[in-house]
Amino acid sequence: MKYQPGIQEQMMPQQASRHKADDECVFCGSHNTDRTISGAWVLDASIEDQKVCKECLHSLKDRQPTAWLRWLKRNDPAHWQRVVDHHRLGSSNLSQVIRRIRIE
């Protein structure tokens, strides 16, 4: 009798391909991305055509990058921690700004 993989084993490749790094929020790493970022963020944080989740997009409003990160640190500690954890090992401009604000 030949081995037949179970349902879980058959679904794993599909699940892995569904969550690519391209689908992550550029700030917190959430896979619930909604739109791409533009405006001041592209200029100040050197990010373009990056996906953003609804939670980050809602709190961004018209804030500049560093102002938003400081606001997030004060007003939404759980979301701030997700952002810090997502950028812990990064070397991008955004990761450097987050590390600088984290130690303030």
Higher pLDDT, 47 or 34: 34
Domain that holds residue 42: 19-102
The answer as to whether 27 is a domain residue is yes
Flag whether pLDDT at 59 surpasses 90: no
Higher pLDDT, 80 or 34: 80
Flag whether pLDDT at 17 surpasses 50: no
Q: What total of structural domains would you count in the chain?
A: 1
The answer as to whether 4 is a domain residue is no
The answer as to whether 9 is a domain residue is no
The answer as to whether 51 is a domain residue is yes
**One-letter-per-residue 3-state SS of the chain:** CCCCCCHHHHHHHHHHHHCCHHHCCCCCCCCCEEEECCCHHHHHCCCCCCEEEHHHHHHHCCCCHHHHHHHHHHHCHHHHHHHHHHCCCCCCHHHHHHHHHHCC
The answer as to whether 45 is a domain residue is yes
Q: What is the pLDDT of residues 61-93, one digit of tens each?
A: 778 878 888 999 999 999 999 999 988 888 888
The answer as to whether 13 is a domain residue is no
Higher pLDDT, 11 or 33: 33
Whole-structure pTM value: 0.64
